[in-house]
Chains A and B, each alone.
Chain A
């Protein structure tokens, strides 16, 4: 048995810093198989559907209706996978913190970083960075694949067209913000099932409930809902009923920031 003493550490500076906590969170992200698989799944969804949806669209192009032809947007069609990828990214954002609560790891984490908040900021920054780094190339690839398929019917667009670059990169920004919203909800609720249902309740169920309300009401409210606000940035031509792209995205980011802020308050006050 060797002794526990470590003279090498005696004079070392072992203070907790935000940069060090970010390195630790990066180690945590890359060392879990489930995290890596979820991120790869998100990329696979984005690219897979950019093959499938345009191929089916082109195959059935001759039987299109006039209404379909009028609303056809080659950019959005090539990015259909984003809707599926948001499931993987959102769940991953939640699990990043609820996984620590479920396994008890969180107590080791907070014993190492007793002020706690650097852990939340570190997780948010590392996860946003990783998600963005993977989804930006994924949406660009999906866009190019989709357009090359559309080119057989000469219905493609390109990155030079107005609003296209913003819509394509906006899809990656939207996915990243969904992940951060999931992380905030996970840190606030500390329970995987509760946080996942809240996240997808906000994104998918809330719009349905609002649509049951009278149009005069729902039209005024719908654009501020997380889903409508967040997806405004992914549309090349703005829907008259939705917020402008960047305003919508800013509103969506506010939801994510609000969840993170509530989580921060709860982390400081509640027992671990």
Chain B
């Protein structure tokens, strides 16, 4: 479990992370979502004690990370794919980190196999592709069989097969009861992987919600209808929460009713429908709308009201 309370990081006048409070629960994958530069990496570095908070605090399993006697058993982290000396082989990189707390060599071989790097483990890491670097970073994170796994943008540079592998891995880690905290700037990726979302923008908390609630809130529930008798259809659908908009191309946008309700009402009134489509705002649009609101200088331009 990770608990941040009033976590703040200032660089000079700039607040990279601003009064962030959240809890990351074990047993599920929690997505940490925000546009580039929102403060995700800074927050993750503070969790690991690499950066010191200007104000506030963050604990892992009840203690500041620095105070844990066996840190690799508490947290495994992928902070950036290139946290590797380019001249050293993947095997020796992992071995050197393992030795700091007495993790045996057999475990090094195990994690190399788990991420599929056994063929290149003895080669210099400087020659690795971005995807191989990510796999090595994930091997590093798994080394101490940690209770908490923190991964910063793990799917960067991975091919579709690699992305699927990460998704399965994250779910299985969570299913084993671990705390899994994964950052991404891609909402669509998080929707597929995470159960819970912490969304930040400009260092501030925007949302702390389950993915299901986020998707429900993001769907605008607009139905597009084409019919031979628009006036007749309006008459049978009319209600207190129903809003009609003419899209100017011969179709009607109906808000406040489901496709089922519209289809049944039209059928019983004998009105012929040519098209009946649910229009969902994409998750990416919903996420952009949400984080745009956090960008204080042009909040109005994109404010659709769909999420409020």
Q: Which residues of A contact B (CB under 8 A)?
A: 1-6, 8-10, 12-17, 20-21, 23-25, 27-28, 31-34, 99-100, 103-115, 269, 271-272
Question: In the bound complex, do residue B99 and residue A24 qualify as a contact, i.e. CB atoms below 8 Å apart?
Answer: yes
**B258 interfacial by beta-carbon distance below 8 Å:** no
- What would be 12 A-B contacts, judged by CB atoms less than 8 Å apart? A3-B114, A4-B169, A13-B102, A16-B100, A20-B100, A24-B96, A104-B80, A107-B50, A108-B97, A111-B50, A111-B75, A112-B71
**B285 interfacial by beta-carbon distance below 8 Å:** no
Interface size band for B: 35 or more
Residues of chain A with a CB closer than 8 A to B52's CB: 269, 271
Interchain CB contact (< 8 A) of A27 among B99, B114, B165: B99
- Interface-located stretch among B83-91, B181-189, B198-206: B83-91
B84 to chain A, nearest CB (A): 6
Residues of chain A with a CB closer than 8 A to B70's CB: 13-16
Determine the distance from Cα of A222 to Cα of B51 in the docked complex, in whole angstroms. Answer: 42
Determine the distance from Cα of A58 to Cα of B288 in the docked complex, in whole angstroms. Answer: 81
9 nearest A-B pairs in the assembled complex, by CB-CB distance: A31-B92, A24-B99, A6-B145, A14-B70, A272-B50, A271-B51, A27-B96, A108-B83, A104-B83
Determine the distance from Cα of A112 to Cα of B111 in the docked complex, in whole angstroms. Answer: 16
Interchain CB contact (< 8 A) of A1 among B48, B50, B168: B168
Residues of chain A with a CB closer than 8 A to B92's CB: 27-28, 31
Q: A31-B88, A111-B79 are known contacts. Are A4 and B96 too (CB-CB below 8 A)? A: no
Determine the distance from Cα of A107 to Cα of B66 in the docked complex, in whole angstroms. Answer: 13
Smallest CB gap from B66: residue in A: A114
Residues of chain A with a CB closer than 8 A to B144's CB: 9, 14
Smallest CB gap from A30: residue in B: B92
Question: In the bound complex, do residue B50 and residue A110 qualify as a contact, i.e. CB atoms below 8 Å apart?
Answer: yes
Smallest CB gap from A24: residue in B: B99
Smallest CB gap from A99: residue in B: B85
Residues of chain A with a CB closer than 8 A to B73's CB: 9, 14
A121 to chain B, nearest CB (A): 13
Determine the distance from Cα of A254 to Cα of B255 in the docked complex, in whole angstroms. Answer: 78
Smallest CB gap from B70: residue in A: A14
Smallest CB gap from B67: residue in A: A114
Question: In the bound complex, do residue A16 and residue B168 qualify as a contact, i.e. CB atoms below 8 Å apart?
Answer: no
Residues of chain B with a CB closer than 8 A to A99's CB: 85, 87
Residues of chain A with a CB closer than 8 A to B45's CB: 107, 271-272
**B275 interfacial by beta-carbon distance below 8 Å:** no
B179 to chain A, nearest CB (A): 14
B119 to chain A, nearest CB (A): 15
Determine the distance from Cα of A34 to Cα of B126 in the docked complex, in whole angstroms. Answer: 13
Question: In the bound complex, do residue A15 and residue B84 qualify as a contact, i.e. CB atoms below 8 Å apart?
Answer: no
Most buried by A among B51, B82, B95, B101: B101
Residues of chain B with a CB closer than 8 A to A107's CB: 45, 50, 79-80, 83
Q: A4-B172, A111-B50 are known contacts. Are A105 and B84 too (CB-CB below 8 A)? A: yes
Residues of chain A with a CB closer than 8 A to B77's CB: 111
Determine the distance from Cα of A230 to Cα of B52 in the docked complex, in whole angstroms. Answer: 38
B150 to chain A, nearest CB (A): 9
Most buried by B among A31, A34, A108: A108
**B303 interfacial by beta-carbon distance below 8 Å:** no
Most buried by B among A2, A9, A14, A20: A14
Determine the distance from Cα of A17 to Cα of B176 in the docked complex, in whole angstroms. Answer: 29
Question: In the bound complex, do residue B69 and residue A15 qualify as a contact, i.e. CB atoms below 8 Å apart?
Answer: yes
Question: In the bound complex, do residue A8 and residue B88 qualify as a contact, i.e. CB atoms below 8 Å apart?
Answer: no
Q: A4-B114, A16-B70, A103-B82 are known contacts. Are A28 and B103 too (CB-CB below 8 A)? A: no
Question: In the bound complex, do residue B84 and residue A104 qualify as a contact, i.e. CB atoms below 8 Å apart?
Answer: yes
Residues of chain A with a CB closer than 8 A to B51's CB: 271-272
Q: Supply 18 further A-B pairs (C-beta < 8 A) apart from A8-B106, A32-B87, A108-B84.
A: A1-B169, A3-B114, A4-B114, A4-B172, A6-B145, A9-B73, A12-B103, A16-B70, A17-B102, A20-B101, A21-B100, A24-B98, A27-B95, A31-B92, A31-B95, A105-B84, A106-B83, A272-B51
**B142 interfacial by beta-carbon distance below 8 Å:** yes
B225 to chain A, nearest CB (A): 47
Residues of chain B with a CB closer than 8 A to A9's CB: 73, 103, 107, 144-145
